[in-house]
Amino acid sequence: MTKLVVVSGPSGVGKTTVCDHLLRRPEFERVTTATTRPARGDERHGVDYLFLSEEEFDGWVEQQRFLEWALVHGHRYGSPRASAEQVLDMGRHALLNIDVQGAAAIRAAGLPSLLVFLLAPSWEVLEKRLRGRRTDAPEAVERRLANARIELARSDEFDLRVVNDDSARAAAEIVKALI
C-alpha cells in the first residue's frame, strides 16, 4: 500500500539529504511544496518549490488546495493536495519534506501516511550543521535553534523516530518501516 511519507524534524537534521536517498528508489516520488520565501541559489520554480507570492498563497489557502500549510521561520510553506494525490494514484509513496507543524496537519488529512521524525545525533551536531551551512544570517540561525528545541519536544507525535548519523542508513530505516 502506498503512503504519504512525511520526513520532518528541526532545520539542520538532514531531511533533504535523507529524502534524496529515498528518491533514488523507484517507489518514491517527491511532492513539490509551495513557499512564499525567495529562492536560494539555483533553486527553480516547479522543481525545488512552487515559489508563490503572498497573494497567490492566500488564494491557494482560500481554495483549500493544500493538505497543510504553516508559517515557518517567517515564511509560509504548503503541501499541494493535488500533487500528493497524483503521486499516490501512480502507485508510489508520496514523499514530503515538511516541518513539524505540517506533519500534524497531514495526519489529520486522513491519507494513509508514515510520519518520520528525523533527529541529529546530538544537539552539538545540529548546531554545527546549521552554522556550517552559511545560508542564513546569524539571527536566522538562532531562530532555527530556538524552534528546534520546541520541535524536538514534539517528536513523540510521530510514527517513527530516526537518528540521522548516516543518511543512507537513515533512509534504509524508513524503507524498512514501510514494508
Confidence of residue 70 (pLDDT cuts 50, 70, 90): confident
pLDDT at 60 (0 to 100): 97
Q: What is the pLDDT of residue 139?
A: 87
Tens-digit pLDDT profile for residues 119-158: 999 999 988 888 887 777 888 888 888 999 999 999 999 9
pTM over 0.75: yes
Q: Over 90: is that where the pLDDT of 73 sits?
A: no
What is d(CA 89, CA 169) in angstroms, rounded to the nearest whole number? 28
What is the reported pLDDT for 136? Answer: 77
What does the DSSP 8-state code read for residue 111? S
Confidence at 107, pLDDT banded by 50, 70, 90: confident
Neighbours of 2 (CB within 10 A): 18
CATH number of the domain bearing residue 51 = 3.40.50.300
Residue 167 is predicted with a pLDDT of 96
pLDDT band at 78 (very low <50, low <70, confident <90, very high): very high
Number of domains in the chain: 1
Amino acid identity at 116 = V
For residues 39-44, average pLDDT: 92
20-34, 109-123, 130-144: which has the minimum mean pLDDT?
130-144
The Cα diameter of the chain in Å comes to 44
Higher pLDDT, 54 or 46: 54
Strand partners, 4: 94, 113
* Residue range(s) defining the domain that contains residue 86: 4-178
Mean pLDDT of all residues in 81-104 = 91
